Structures are given as structure tokens and as C-alpha cells.
Amino acid sequence: MTDLSIMKKNKRIPEQLVYLLIYTSAAISVLLLAGIIGYVFIKGIGAVNWGFLTNVTSVLKGTTGIAGNIVNTLYIISITLLIAAPAGIGSAIYLNEYAKPGKLVRLIEFTTETLAGIPSILFGLFGMVFFGTTLGLGYSILTGSLTLTLMILPLITRNTQEALKTVPESYRNGALGLGTTKWYMIRTILLPSAMPGIITGIILAVGRIVGESAALLFTAGSGYYLPQSGQLIHKIFESGGTLSVQLYLSMSKGQYDIAFGIAAVLLMIVLIINFMTKLLSRKFDVSRKK
């Protein structure tokens, strides 16, 4: 455009102001993230050492550590995924491959959406009264895992659905045309093709579980001991606080050193999870292009 344009002169200053606003907004997210990561690592990395990761907090021995919480977190991740992953994937397969559009599908999809929108504190209340009181599981790792199962179910269902949708229709027709049955086709063609997407969903679910605290505070409780040898199974009926729950408890007791140590560990896990999902989706993209 030349300088002859009258319009341009009139609008130049406000437009630049708008650009400034847009750039500032975008900068806010980046600065916030940099600030959060920087602050947590600077304040927390000093507390993180081998002893902190492998000891259990004990007044008698005079040690502080989060080994028990790490083990609890692993327990809860495994049990939750053991139930939620098959259920979520199965639900997605039904919605995508078997169901015919209609009221039933709408109902299932609406409830899945609803489940995704319920705040974690309400899951916590429900888990406490249903799994804890009605089923008599009390404050235990199992109660916490069952509660989280409900919470991450929509995440896994949705990601699996998305992954299944990207599998070309021709794969299905090809397999069925060769005379395979539907389940055989799903098992040998669909699921392997959709696997990267499904795994991404599961990794995201792990991230959700690691970061969750409100739903666990009143279901899994706050135990921080390591399981005794020979009682690995029995441990799931005992109370066990995850890293996030312990972070909250330390914070409310004013033990900020421990809190920042746990925060640094948590952030590290979040960064690793993020990196892994990135890697997977990139791999997925490449295979799509071929």
C-alpha cells in the first residue's frame, strides 16, 4: 500500500495498540509458565536429593522424605488405569464402531461430557460416601483409585474415540471384505492403528492422576508409609496420600521446604509427561503422512 491511502493514517495508532494488546496477552502465558517453573525449581530443587526421594518422613529417625507418597502415587496410577483404561477404550469402541446414532448414543455422550465437567471435589465427596462408606472401603488406596477411575474415564474415552476416527474407513472395509468378523477386525486392525492415540490418552490420564488432590483427600487419605514386605496387596486397603495430596498437607502445615521439594518433583513429572505425549503425537503424524 502506498502512503496515499487516507484510511491507513486514521487507523494506524489504535491498530498498533490492538497488536500490542494481543502480543502482551500471548506473552503473559509464556512469562507465567517461565515464572512458575523457574520459581518452583529454584525454591524446590535444594530439597530434592536422594534421601528425600527414598526416605519416609519419621520423627524417630529424624528423616524427611516422600518415598511413601511416591509408592502410593504409583499404586493409584496402576489400579486406576487397570480399571479405567479397558472401560474407557471399550466405551469408545462401542460408540464408534457398534452404536447406531440415536437417543442411546446421545445419552452416553452427554453423560461422558457431564462426567468430564464435574469438579474433582465432587468426585471426592461421592467417592467418600459411595466407595468409602456404602461399600465399606474406608480411606484407602482402592477407594481413591475407584474415584479417580470415574474422573479419567471421559478423558480416555474421548482420546480413543478421536484415535479411532482417524483410522481410514478403507481399513475397516478391507478387513471386513476379506471375511473377518467385526471383533477380529477391531482387535487386529483398528486397535493397532489407533494405538498411538490411545496411549496418548492414557499418558494424559496419568498426568491428571498425578496432579489430582481434591478427589483424593477424602478418599485415599494421607498415609505416607511404605508397604511392609509381604503386604503389597494389603496396602491397597490402607490409606495412602499421593504426592499432590502430601504437597497440599505440607503447605497447609506451613512446611514450605517440603512443599517446594514435592512441587519440583511434580513439575518434573509433568514436563516428562508433556514431552512423551509430544513425541507420540509426532510419531503418529509421520505414520499418517506415509
Partner 1 sequence: MKNNPISIIGSRKTKQISETIAHKIFVICAFFAVLSVASITVYMIINGTPALTKVGILELLFGSDWSPTAANPGYGILYVILTSIIGTAFAILIGVPIGVLTAVFLSDVAPKKLAAIVKPAVELLAGIPSVIYGLLGIMILNPLMYRLELAIFKDSATHQFTGGSNLISAVLVLAVMILPTVINISEASLRAVPEHLKAASLAVGASKIQTIFKVQIPAAKSGIITAVVLGVGRAIGEAMAISLVAGSAVNFPLPFNSVRFLTTAIVSEMGYAADTHREVLFTIGLVLFAFIMIINIILTRILKKGNKNDD
The continuous run of DSSP H or E covering 133 comes out as none
C-alpha cell at 69: 507418597
Question: Which of positions 202-241 make contact with partner 1 (CB under 8 A)?
Answer: 207, 210-214, 217-218
Query: Cα dist. 134→115, 117, 130, 148 in Å?
Result: 21, 24, 5, 17
Does 195 help bind partner 1 (rule: CB under 8 A)? no
Rounded to the nearest whole angstrom, what is the least distance from the CB of residue 142 to partner 1 in the complex? 17
CB nearer to partner 1: pick between 111 and 166: 111
CB nearer to partner 1: pick between 149 and 227: 149
Q: Which long-range contacts (CB under 8 A, 24 or more apart) does 44-50 make?
A: 44/260, 44/261, 44/262, 44/263, 44/264, 44/265, 44/267, 45/264, 46/261, 47/257, 47/258, 47/260, 47/261, 47/264, 48/261, 48/264, 48/265
Binding residue for partner 1 (CB under 8 A) from 38, 46, 51, 119?
Answer: 119
Binding residue for partner 1 (CB under 8 A) from 95, 152, 198, 205?
Answer: 95
User: 208 Cβ partners below 8 Å, 6+ apart?
Assistant: 151, 152, 155
Rounded to the nearest whole angstrom, what is the least distance from the CB of residue 191 to partner 1 in the complex? 12
For cell 487386529, name the residue. Answer: 188
User: 138 Cβ partners below 8 Å, 6+ apart?
Assistant: 132, 237, 239
The continuous run of DSSP H or E covering 261 comes out as helix 256-289
DSSP 97: I
Which amino acid belongs to residue 256? Y
Does 284 help bind partner 1 (rule: CB under 8 A)? no
User: 23 Cβ partners below 8 Å, 6+ apart?
Assistant: none
DSSP 4: T
CB nearer to partner 1: pick between 167 and 267: 267
Q: Which of 112-120, 136-144, 164-172, 191-199 is the region at the interface with partner 1 (rule: CB under 8 A)?
A: 112-120
CB nearer to partner 1: pick between 92 and 227: 92
Q: Which of 45-53, 61-69, 232-240, 268-276 is the region at the interface with partner 1 (rule: CB under 8 A)?
A: 268-276
Binding residue for partner 1 (CB under 8 A) from 274, 279, 283, 288?
Answer: 274
Question: Which of positions 122-181 make contact with partner 1 (CB under 8 A)?
Answer: 122-123, 125-126, 128-130, 150, 153-154, 157, 181
Here's the x/- map for partner 1, 16-55, by CB under 8 A: it reads as --xx-xxx-xx-xxx-xxx-x--xx--x------------
Q: How far apart are CA 251 and CA 264, in angstroms?
A: 14
Q: How far apart are CA 10 and CA 34, in angstroms?
A: 38
Rounded to the nearest whole angstrom, what is the least distance from the CB of residue 97 to partner 1 in the complex? 8
Q: Which of 62-70, 72-80, 162-170, 267-275 is the region at the interface with partner 1 (rule: CB under 8 A)?
A: 267-275
Rounded to the nearest whole angstrom, what is the least distance from the CB of residue 132 to partner 1 in the complex? 11
Here's the x/- map for partner 1, 65-94, by CB under 8 A: it reads as ---------------------xxxxxx-xx
Rounded to the nearest whole angstrom, what is the least distance from the CB of residue 54 to partner 1 in the complex? 22
Binding residue for partner 1 (CB under 8 A) from 112, 159, 200, 219?
Answer: 112
